[in-house]
Amino acid sequence: MRHGIILAKSIPAKKYGIHTGQSVTEALQKCPELLLVPPNYNLYQRSSESFIRILKEYSPTVEQYSIDEAYMDMTGMEALFGEPQKAALEIGRRIREELGFTVNIGIADNKVLAKMASDFKKPDRVHTLWTGEIQELWPLPVSELFFVGRATFRKLSQLGIKTIKDLAETDPGLIKSHFGKMGDVIWCFANGLDFSAVEPVPPPNKGYGNSTTIAFDVADKEHAHLVLLSLAETLAARLRSDNVRAGVLSVGIKDWDFHYYSHQTILSSPTNITEEIFQTACQVFDEAWDEQPVRHLGIHTTRITKGE
């Protein structure tokens, strides 16, 4: 659609500079012959569940990181499945033959290096990256480091930090002064350090959100409120499913020109009731909206409390 975005790009499309989150209009300007395929979320969900089931046959400690990514702690599994590379090749073969798609597998002695190794040459590959080998990645642009997004990359560039090596050799205190706790994380990552464990049980959500890109520019409150109702229904259902309530609500708005802004309010009492979330979202939207046509809306909640 005219206002759609790229949810995932193929390897050939990436060569044209097409990236996830880019507007379809912008992607077509870069590659007029681009083949666009509509998403099929139900298929992705079923494939994801089957993918995780296979992984759990090889380790009791599997942390699902996203719909198509997971970490596995294979400590002690050598007696059953052999050395890491052998186990990885078998897992990749089974996913390819039983589920019909390929995976890249990264093997390392911590999570961040495994993640970075899995992003090496694709598709259908197994790569290793050990702590002592991190310096091999130092010549790469710092944007290639896990957790360094576009905004962080811009700030690092302003500090004169262009490569992973630059970041690794910068005083960690300086990085923390500019990025807070995240500065500690990316400095450790640049040095190949990651002390987080593989967590099979996800930690409690600190916030719940739901958003959507609308198929047409919304230019009136009535249509915007209908979109907010749809978002509020799904969001409230998730809160009730987890037996939690939200105390702070914000509405995010992206207009036709990709300008993003948001506004939030503290609820009089924490809630997971659809009607209360919907009415509050409408009030927040009405207060914040600058009457420019809207292409994307989101409701986000924080200050989550458990139980009654």
Both 26 and 48 in one domain: the answer is no
**Residue 9 and residue 97 share a domain:** no
Residue 69 annotated in active site: yes
Choose one of 103, 127, 155: the last residue of a domain.
103
Are residues 233 and 294 both part of a single domain? yes
CATH code of the domain containing 16: 3.40.1170
Strands 105-107 and 126-128, bridge-based pairing: parallel
Q: How many domains does the chain have?
A: 3
> What confidence score (pLDDT) does residue 258 get?
81
Choose, from 49, 57, 63, 69, the residue flagged as catalytic: 69
Which CATH number belongs to the domain containing residue 228 in this structure? Answer: 3.30.1490.100
Q: Residue 1 has what pLDDT?
A: 53
pLDDT digit string (tens) for the chain, length 308 residues = 556 788 889 989 999 999 888 888 899 999 999 999 988 889 999 999 999 999 999 999 999 998 999 999 999 999 999 999 999 999 999 999 999 999 999 999 999 999 999 999 989 999 999 999 999 999 999 999 999 988 899 999 999 999 999 999 999 999 999 999 999 999 999 999 999 999 998 778 889 999 998 878 899 999 999 999 999 999 999 999 999 999 999 999 999 888 899 999 999 999 999 999 999 999 999 999 999 999 999 999 999 998 76
Give the structural domain span for 262.
208-306
Judge if 61 and 81 occupy the same domain. yes
Q: Are residues 26 and 45 in the same domain?
A: no
Asked if the structure places residue 162 within a domain, the reply is no
Closest CA to 259 of 207, 217, 201: 217
Please give the DSSP secondary-structure letter assigned to residue 65. Answer: E
CATH number at residue 94: 3.30.70.270
Q: Are strands 62-66 and 69-72 parallel, antiparallel or unpaired?
A: antiparallel
Residue 124 lies inside a defined structural domain of this protein? no
The pLDDT value given to residue 247:
96
pLDDT of residue 153: 94
pLDDT of residue 3: 60
* Pair 53, 3 in one domain: no
- 165 occurs within a structural domain: no
Whether residue 18 is found in the same domain as residue 46:
no
Cβ-contact 264, 202 below 8 angstroms: no
Q: How many other CB atoms are found less than 10 A from the CB of residue 195?
A: 8
Question: Does residue 269 contact residue 249 with C-beta atoms inside 8 Å?
Answer: no
Whether the model clears a pTM of 0.75, i.e. scores above it, the answer is no
